[in-house]
Chains A and B, each alone.
Chain A
Amino acid sequence: AQKITQTQPGMFVQEKEAVTLDCTYDTSDPSYGLFWYKQPSSGEMIFLIYQGSYDQQNATEGRYSLNFQKARKSANLVISASQLGDSAMYFCAMREPSYGQNFVFGPGTRLSVLP
């Protein structure tokens, strides 16, 4: 069974608008970490934001925020005020002790920002 699900293969958003990228996960560990990475067309993997399973508040990093709903096992990435440079692949990932502290990645969502 997939541990990380990203149901949106591709998304379009108008420049300066907000967009939400969906991520659901599956784990039985009480302690785990959730991560979002950005991969632009140049290919590098860029860390964006982290949410811990015990964190009471949703994580925020500049224009990125994470809508963490623990009971629903979802960790959606919200990008506010989209910019053309936000066009990229976005990967949701989880790190959990029962998987040897390894990361498992979702299939990704390709975001295209329209001018």
Chain B
Amino acid sequence: NAGVTQTPKFQVLKTGQSMTLQCAQDMNHEYMSWYRQDPGMGLRLIHYSVGAGITDQGEVPNGYNVSRSTTEDFPLRLLSAAPSQTSVYFCASSRQGPKETQYFGPGTRLLVL
């Protein structure tokens, strides 16, 4: 049982490049989400999904796309990287319901030059 996995762990991009951050979970959780973490700002929700084929925007969705073709996978796509997207990105999953905690992946540190 691997929990939530993310790849890569670290990435350097040039402005304008695109890339996909991978996220997978093996706990059969319906809910998955992507956050970015910036100093002094906690975690901010980018996109989330409540099941395969269903995605929605969070607090800071601009510049990012997601899809959810399977329960297990929830990739995050940066369409045209900008220095403002330099951050640490976390993927998380949980069961549905206000009592259910989220389980986090190890994070991806992204640097956009």
Q: Which residues of A are at the interface with B, using a C-beta cutoff of 8 A?
A: 4, 9, 29, 31-33, 35, 37, 43-45, 47, 50, 52-53, 91, 93, 95-97, 100-108
Contacts of B50 in A (CB 8 A): 100-101
Q: Apart from A44-B106, A104-B45, what are 17 other A-B pairs with CB-CB below 8 Å?
A: A31-B98, A32-B98, A33-B99, A33-B101, A35-B101, A37-B104, A47-B102, A91-B43, A93-B43, A95-B100, A101-B96, A101-B97, A102-B33, A103-B45, A103-B92, A105-B35, A108-B42
B64 at the interface (CB under 8 A from A): no
- Say if the beta carbon of B74 comes within 8 Å of chain A: no
Q: How far is the CA of A112 from the CA of B89 in the complex (A)?
A: 24
Which of B41, B88, B101, B107 sits near A107, CB closer than 8 Å? B41
Binary A-proximity of B89-113 (CB < 8 A = 1, otherwise 0): 0101000111111111011000000
A19 CB → nearest B CB, Å = 20
Interface pair B98/A102, CB less than 8 Å apart = no
Task: Give Cα distance in the complex from A4 to B44, angstroms.
Answer: 12
Enumerate 30 A-B pairs (CB-CB under 8 Å) in ascending A order: A4-B42, A9-B40, A29-B98, A32-B98, A33-B98, A33-B101, A37-B104, A44-B104, A44-B107, A45-B90, A45-B92, A45-B104, A45-B107, A47-B101, A50-B101, A53-B98, A95-B98, A96-B98, A100-B50, A101-B31, A101-B50, A101-B97, A102-B48, A102-B58, A103-B33, A103-B43, A103-B45, A103-B92, A105-B43, A108-B42
In the bound complex, do residue B101 and residue A100 qualify as a contact, i.e. CB atoms below 8 Å apart?
Answer: no
Residue of B nearest to A47 (CB): B101
Nearest residue in B to A108 (C-beta to C-beta)?
B42
* Residues from chain B with Cβ under 8 Å of A103 in the complex: 33, 43, 45, 92, 102
Please name all residues of chain A whose beta carbon is closer than 8 Å to the beta carbon of B42 when the two chains form the complex.
4, 91, 105-108
Given known pairs A100-B56, A102-B58, the reply for A43 and B106 (CB within 8 Å) is: yes
Contacts of B44 in A (CB 8 A): 105
What residues on A are CB-neighbors of B33 within 8 Å?
A: 102-103
